């Protein structure tokens, strides 16, 4: 989640899969998850935060500010086929499915050793606004609807923090990510020229009103 990786999306689905993977659990990230999140991020992006940095950022803070992270956890060698999902992306049907498979966000518990981190999303929140910093899904679990489920759950949590506006930057050429955000209701509001240092690619600014 460093500045150079800000707003990137790695491996989102191009559409919500007919079924989310069996045994999928969504919940808020806690400091104990830091090593797993940092490791996944290092595989997804050229620059990444260390476990120590994530542990610090995921520590409990003011309820209306700080780092809002959500992880998608799956049983090791999980099959895909149980939780129904709307083909329209983060719709009301998906929101209901996400609620059904969500663990208590404030439980502070680390998943059992038999579960693995399949994907995560991190939002930076303050003063009634939040920014999608990073979202990534491990390669074996892409195109299963996990990215859409993570986004839907994170936006639900952001609303609980009285967030009224969410925005993000996404590479112009990242068509799957742009489609994911558009289905979630984000709209384009601007353009940042040569935003990504590694590629020099432009970024679209997208925004979603949550209130």
Whether 158 is in a domain gets the answer yes
> pLDDT digits over 159-178, tens only?
999 999 999 999 999 999 99
pLDDT tier, 108 (very low <50, low <70, confident <90, very high otherwise): very low
Whether 156 is in a domain gets the answer yes
pLDDT tier, 78 (very low <50, low <70, confident <90, very high otherwise): low
CATH of the domain at 17: 3.40.630
Q: Are 16 and 88 in contact (CB under 8 A)?
A: yes
For the cut 50, the answer to whether the pLDDT of residue 16 exceeds it is no
End-to-end CA distance of the chain: 26
For the cut 50, the answer to whether the pLDDT of residue 144 exceeds it is yes
Whether 12 is in a domain gets the answer yes
| Per-residue confidence (pLDDT) for residue 15, from 0 to 100 | 40
Whether 74 is in a domain gets the answer yes
The three-state secondary structure class of 88 is: coil
Mean pLDDT of the chain: 81
For the cut 50, the answer to whether the pLDDT of residue 92 exceeds it is no
Percentage of the residues of the chain whose pLDDT score is greater than 90:
64
Whole-number Å distance between alpha carbons of 85 and 133: 25
Per DSSP (E only), the strands in 127-177 are: 129-137, 165-171
Whole-number Å distance between alpha carbons of 184 and 166: 11
Whether 211 is in a domain gets the answer no
Whether 208 is in a domain gets the answer no
Whether 52 is in a domain gets the answer yes
State the Cα torsion 49-50-54-56 to the nearest 10°.
-120
For the cut 60, the answer to whether the pLDDT of residue 198 exceeds it is yes
> pLDDT digits over 113-140, tens only?
589 999 999 999 999 999 999 999 999 9
Residue span of the structural domain in which 48 resides: 3-164
**Number of domains comprising the chain:** 1
| Per-residue confidence (pLDDT) for residue 50, from 0 to 100 | 96
Whether 101 is in a domain gets the answer yes
């Amino acid at each position: 989640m460093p500045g150079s990786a800000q707003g990137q999306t790695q491996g989102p689905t191009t559409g919500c899969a007919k079924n989310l993977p069996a045994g999928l659990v969504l919940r808020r990230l806690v400091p104990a998850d830091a090593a797993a999140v940092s490791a996944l991020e290092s595989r997804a992006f050229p620059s990444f935060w260390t476990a120590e940095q994530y542990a610090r950022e995921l520590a409990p803070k003011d309820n209306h500010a700080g780092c809002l992270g959500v992880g998608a956890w799956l049983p090791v060698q999980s099959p895909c086929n149980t939780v129904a999902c709307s083909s329209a992306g983060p719709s009301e049907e998906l929101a209901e499915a996400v609620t059904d498979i969500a663990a208590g966000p404030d439980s502070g518990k680390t998943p059992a050793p038999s579960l693995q981190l399949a994907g995560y999303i991190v939002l930076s929140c303050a003063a009634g606004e939040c920014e999608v910093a990073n979202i990534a899904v491990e390669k074996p679990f892409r195109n299963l609807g996990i990215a859409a489920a993570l986004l839907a759950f994170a936006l639900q949590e952001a609303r609980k923090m009285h967030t009224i506006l969410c925005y993000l930057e996404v590479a112009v050429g990242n068509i799957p990510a742009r489609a994911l955000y558009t289905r979630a209701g984000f709209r384009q509001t601007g353009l940042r020229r040569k935003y990504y240092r590694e590629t020099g690619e432009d970024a679209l600014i997208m925004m979603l009103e949550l209130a």
